[in-house]
Structure 1
Amino acid sequence: MIGVIIPAHDEARYIDQCLASIKEAARHRQLAGIAVQVLVVLDDCRDDTGLLAAAAGCSTLEVSFRNVGKARAYGAQALLNAGAQWLAFTDADTRVPPDWLARQIGFQADAVCGTVSVDSWEHHPQHVRARYMEGYRFEEGHRHIHGANLGLSAAVYEKVGGFQHLAAHEDVQLVADLERIGARIVWTATNSVVTSARRDFKCREGFGEYLLSLEEPAAVMAAP
């Protein structure tokens, strides 16, 4: 079974498109005979995110952490307990391609780190897109790390102890732990997801804050 984990804090605006894309990916012909279970971790949600997830036929888990690392970890553990052998992670404001899960499994690696494309730059000054593209590598071996586009085997996830309960950079820490044990990681641009360039981001020090930093006259932050 493949387990897909999506942490969400008041994401009713985006969750429908996210879940629709995941459901399409779960129907890919290369996954015939493989069950896919989608879990939305409702982290202190006070809007209709949970109702929308349930209406889409997805499982939900209610927590009150306001901590993305802890939310991902609890979601992962729930699906491990349900028998997941592969864990795929994305974000509620992200859409995955139809072959997202099939490509992750097809690499036969311990972990797969994918790239991220932006849906629209309309909420940022024009120079932000140029700066982003200057620092981003849409190529194999790219070395970017995104919790919105990450997959790994249940065995290697458990071996490194899973996500640490960090409010930011939990994905970077997990990949560092994977590298420490010599896990085989594929860094691919062939299964890029599309995420929002929103200004009302929910995670500090994450992708949204990085984009805001590019508006400054002398942006120095490295691309995630």
Structure 2
Amino acid sequence: MTTPTAVAVVVPARNEEALLPACLDAIDVAVEGLRAEHPHVEARVFVALDACRDGSAAVVAGRSGVTAVELYAGCVGIARAAAVDAASEWAAGSSHGSLWLANTDADSVVPPHWLTTQVRLATAGFDLVVGTVRPLPADLSPDALAAWHERHSTADGHEHVHGANLGFTTAAYATVGGYAPLRAHEDVEIVAAMKEAGLGWIATGAIPVTTSGRAVSRVTDGFATYLEGLAT
């Protein structure tokens, strides 16, 4: 694949007014880095505000380069898909030839080189980039944090899948039929489908995303539920 002509960042959010500002601030820095390295690559952020009853919409409102996608599904798989649909419409309307979809979560903070690294890997021919995450240490007990590090590799070639750190082409997304309407593990499902389809993929430890280690999950069987079980 040649260098993508556009990058869309997909962010599902459900009642995330407290953590969403830091998420978007970090994405802004990553977009600035992308524009410095690839000035002709357009970038835009799509936040899927799913059944939000707090001030998440106000956080997004007025943000330059950010599109709010409002829905009331209460389902992260549907929310991610809605944001991808909006991103695809944006790219088509702007006559962009190739669109890269970078995925993260509203409670997460991406590193400054997050997008430039994904674009480099896309240019090298990878259809799917699977990154790593690390929970915020202050959010976990010492036992839970130790258990996390014992069970998780942050090196290249890792076996983990996190919706907070994924990237893929729109062609790869279409090949597997998009995100399934699942309330959890939609990220694991889509990555497995892309691998099964024989698409080119890479698991990298070069772009770790910091994510919340909170104990209260926004979805049943989500990441917070997993973290809660580490110290037990």
Q: TM-score, normalised by structure 2?
A: 0.90
Q: 1:88 aligns with which of 95, 102, 107?
A: 102
The structural deviation recorded for 1:117 is 1.2
AA at the equivalent of 1:102: T
Moved over 6 A (4+): none
| DSSP 3-state at the match of 2:49 | strand
Q: How does 1:68-107 map to 2 (within 5 A)?
A: 68-83=76-91, 85-107=99-121
1:205 aligns with 2:205: no
The answer to which of 35-44 and 25-34 deviates more is 25-34
In terms of fraction of residues, the more helix-rich structure is: 2
* Cα distance, 1:56 vs structure 2: 2.3
Partner letter of residue 7 of structure 1?
A: P
Paired position in structure 2 for 1:219: none
**Equivalent position of 2:37 in the other structure:** 30
**Residue 125 of structure 1, CA deviation:** 2.9
Alpha-carbon distance in structure 2 between the residues aligned to 1:111 and 1:199: 30
- Mapped to 2, the partners of 1:31 and 1:46 lie a distance apart of 38
CA deviation vs aligned residue, 1:14-58 (integer Å, no higher than 9, x gap):
010000100110111223211111011000111111111123221
Gaps of 5+ in 2: 1-5, 92-97
TM-score normalised by the chain length of structure 1: 0.93
Identity of aligned residues (%): 35
- In structure 1, what residue type is equivalent to 2:54? D
What is the CA–CA distance in structure 2 between the aligned matches of 1:125 and 1:93, rounded to whole Å? Answer: 19
In the alignment, structure 1 residue 60 sits paired with structure 2 residue 68 = yes
Corresponding residue pairs, total: 215
SS at match of 2:146: helix
Partner Cα separation in structure 2 for residue 30 and residue 162 of structure 1: 29
Contact 1:121 1:129 in 2 (8 A): no
CA contact under 8 A between 2:133 and 2:208: conserved in structure 1? yes
